[in-house]
Amino acid sequence: MLDTIWLVPALPFAGAAINLFAGRRLGRLAGWLGVLVVAASFGLSLWLFADLVALPGDERLAVQHVFDWIEVGSFSANVNLRVDPLSMTMLLVVTGIASLIHVYSIGYMEADPRFGRFFAYMNLFVGFMVILVLADNFLLLYVGWEGVGLCSYLLIGFWHERVRAANAAKKAFITTRIGDTLMLIGIVLIFLRLGSLDFGKVLTGSITQTQPSGVFTVISLLLLCGAIGKSAQIPLHVWLPDAMEGPTPVSALIHAATMVTAGVYLVARTHVFFGASGVALTVVLIVGLVTALYAATAALGQDDIKRVLAYSTISQLGFMFFALGLRHYGAAIFLLVTHAFYKALMFLGAGSVMHGLHGESDMRKMGGLRKWMPITSATFVIGVLSISGVPPFSGFFSKDQILNAANHTEHTIAWLVSLVAAFVSALYIARLVFMTFFGESRVEREPHESPPVMTVPLILLAVGATVAGLLSVDAVTGRLPTFLQPVFGEVAEPVHGLPEAVLTTISVGVALAGILVGWFVWGSGRVDWMALATRFGELKRFLASGWYVDASYARTLVPAGRLVAGFLSSGIDRRVIDGSVNAIGALVQRLAAVGRRVQTGLVRNYALGLLIGAVVLFAYVGARL
């Protein structure tokens, strides 16, 4: 098993290289090649999984040293890939969902002239994401981190002729950069204070005794900044809604199922640091909870189907961070898994809708699509039920565990807020499904169902969204929590709070209430929601713009940033750096101008020089006699 771990990222990278250089010649084959390498990675991951579980519980760890990278003095960061329960879980999710989305993309992107390059970028992304989750040290993780950021930029701006897409790509990159830089400082601190960047050495249980807890607070908060950027939490969330300018498979893969979950993975991986610092965990909790509620309300005001899903992703990620803040790391990962299924499903469904409507994405121009697109509708409804938390779908189990954990840990206010967020979540997604698939049709052209290459992945994801709950039926004894025990430790039995049955009833009730209200307003036809939207126009605009956060950034941070950038580029870059280089050139020129006056062309001057030299030489030789 050990020797083959490196193939898991290597195969997608190879696919990317082939498609980059020979993509155009391959034509349609480029897509199947892209699918092949990712599916092969997934197959290999399954095999690694089988090998992993064959080992006894506390020995489930394998690290492959692929090659030496940096060995300088006491600092060493090599390309080591780590397979343990956490990275295995992430790996299966990434490669599995990626395979399905690659298949879907063959249908979705078939008319695009840059077909081959799309798959090259997608493969490149998968390669980097695998590096990220399999990295055994912080530097390699950072390489993967930056790599997926790069691919995100490339893929959001895939249709770079569109100004909005190009701007969105830039915005994504710059916003995450802020988080990434702080994260890098955190990584440097880790090395300075803890002496190594290897997970094996640094993420042990005993590490917390070696330094005062303040150190871990700082490190955790810095790493958290990176996670906030990558996972689009407040205040660095603004890039994700705009990232919907990219092709829908990109939104599904990167901005729903995998890249944005990297932040959650990071916090889960470094939970030792966070656990050592109460402050950091509280911050995580608050950030997650506030983001969950905020994004849910913002999703309520969106008219673009993809933007609803984008805000939904932000909100669900908020729930994951909330779970992390409650020290229920396993629950957060479980939500990550189920969310990957149903969010990818809904994104691909939205893509199918847009494909069928020839590019239309405004929900006000949809409606009643059920009769033309049965498969899409049915699978989408499964996704809706899952995200709302209706049993027996997977989302119910994952959300339920988190809400219950809030109650068990005596964070009562947090629990109540999370219930409100859950209600709004059900509400906005009900609004989406009723506006799009039910009711009277407002479409301008008659749509068509998507081809099997697109609908089969939808069905497979729907199956996943349905049965994934089996992974963790119970928060303490479920398969996933016990599998993740070597990394997170045992999950404590709930002691405080209300009994399980009560809590479950409350959360299901909240979900059904949300769906009911949604049906009543948007699905039953009894309420003229279009007039409602106009009457509450101000509120709707407030919500739709994300509580005007973007606008406030544009008025404050962006001009400030432009000022600094202008200073750095014209002030420092042009005047100091270019100036010094040019000065050297000018100096050489001036020296040459002086020096060349020796070349008078007159033989007598040269003879004079000769003679001077000769005389000096005679003197020297004579002095030595």
Minimum CB–partner distance for residue 618 and other proteins (Å): 5
Residue 258 structure tokens: 């995998």
CB atoms within 10 A of CB 190: 23
Nearer to other proteins by Cβ, of 496 and 597: the residue is 597
Q: Is 605 in the site for other proteins (CB under 8 A)?
A: yes
Per-residue string for binding with other proteins, 552-591, x by CB under 8 A? ----------------------------------------
Run of H or E residues at 78: strand 75-83
Minimum CB–partner distance for residue 589 and other proteins (Å): 13
Nearest in space to 123 (alpha carbons), one of 94, 145, 146: 94
Nearer to other proteins by Cβ, of 579 and 613: the residue is 613
Q: Is 4 in the site for other proteins (CB under 8 A)?
A: no
Q: Is 594 in the site for other proteins (CB under 8 A)?
A: no
Nearer to other proteins by Cβ, of 205 and 622: the residue is 622
Helix (H, G, I), strand (E, B) or coil at 228: helix
Q: Is 602 in the site for other proteins (CB under 8 A)?
A: yes
Nearer to other proteins by Cβ, of 525 and 595: the residue is 595
Helix (H, G, I), strand (E, B) or coil at 438: coil
Per-residue string for binding with other proteins, 483-502, x by CB under 8 A? --------------------
Select from 147-155, 178-186, 248-256, 606-614 the region that touches other proteins (CB under 8 A).
Answer: 606-614
Cα dist from 74 to 184, 186, 191, 196, whole Å: 19, 19, 10, 8
Minimum CB–partner distance for residue 620 and other proteins (Å): 10
Residue 488 structure tokens: 């997170």
Select from 55-63, 353-361, 429-437, 600-608 the region that touches other proteins (CB under 8 A).
Answer: 600-608
Select from 155-163, 372-380, 382-390, 604-612 the region that touches other proteins (CB under 8 A).
Answer: 604-612
- Is residue 41 within 8 A of residue 8, CB to CB? The reply is yes
Nearer to other proteins by Cβ, of 163 and 602: the residue is 602
Q: Is 530 in the site for other proteins (CB under 8 A)?
A: no
The one-letter amino acid code at 401 reads Q
Cα dist from 505 to 354, 391, 468, 498, 512, whole Å: 37, 11, 21, 11, 10
**What residues does 83 pair with on adjacent strands?**
62
Q: First-to-last CA distance in the chain?
A: 81
Sign for the pseudo-dihedral over CA of 103, 104, 108, 112: negative
Minimum CB–partner distance for residue 583 and other proteins (Å): 23
Select from 294-302, 357-365, 490-498, 609-617 the region that touches other proteins (CB under 8 A).
Answer: 609-617
Question: Count of residues binding other proteins (CB under 8 A)?
Answer: 20
Give the position of tokens 């402050």. Answer: 279
Nearer to other proteins by Cβ, of 565 and 614: the residue is 614
Please tell me what DSSP assigns to residue 261.
Answer: G
The residues near 461 (Cβ < 8 Å, ≥ 6 apart) are: 97, 100, 341, 342, 344, 345, 348, 379, 383
Helix (H, G, I), strand (E, B) or coil at 366: coil
Q: Is 596 in the site for other proteins (CB under 8 A)?
A: yes
Interface residues toward other proteins, by CB under 8 A: 596-597, 599-605, 607-608, 611-612, 614-615, 618-619, 621-622, 625
